[in-house]
Amino acid sequence: MSFFKKLFGSKKENNDQQQKQQNDQQADFKGVYTNEYFDKRYTEDKMESTLVEGCMKMVESYFLEYKFEKKVSSPSTHPANLDQVIDEGIGFQLYCKAFNFEETQAALFLAYSFSDFLINQFGFKLYTDNQPEFPLRKMVLKYNRDGVVLSLYPFEYALKALDHQSTFEGLYDKIKTNLKTLPNVDEVLKGMERG
């Protein structure tokens, strides 16, 4: 009897683990808001090209200084490359510190670089949250597909990546998964009616 339990039990555990991984990959549903609410709360932030160039140059200079070959040749701001500057050599945070930059500035370099990547790759837009729920969430990226919006917080995430709590590549994988499964507005509203 225990043989069958082990045989079939492990399959159930594997299925449970797979289901948990899929749920971890899916975005949380936060609610519905009006255009008026959105316009009042968020201000679109057009990243100045000089700011983005400066951030990208800091990332590029790290590769040049330590003669690392990038994991992804182009663009430099690819999530695998951003993880690489954090993990290889002395680390991006110490590198920035040598130029008298604080941890928050190092995180901003990475946050703007990652934002630029997502804007160019998927069409995200950068916003300033005028009423952030948490202090680290003033900078927000939003992807809008026919009224269904996916949000993420690049500065908060960059700090987590610098602290080795997360990776940019991990977030990139989650984003790709969520964009494939993003529901349409009608599905969301029907789900709300039933719930």
Of the candidates 43, 61, 53, the residue with the CA atom closest to the CA atom of residue 125: 43
Question: 61-83 pLDDT, tens per residue?
Answer: 999 998 989 999 999 999 999 99
List the 148-152 sheet strands across, edge first: 42-44, 125-129, 139-145, 148-152
What is the torsional sign of CA 27, 170, 24, 165?
A: negative
Q: Which residue has the higher pLDDT, 101 or 28?
A: 101
Question: 126-153 pLDDT, tens per residue?
Answer: 999 999 999 899 999 999 988 888 999 9
4 pLDDT band, cuts 50/70/90, is very low
27 pLDDT band, cuts 50/70/90, is low
Cα 161 to chain centroid distance, Å, stands at: 10
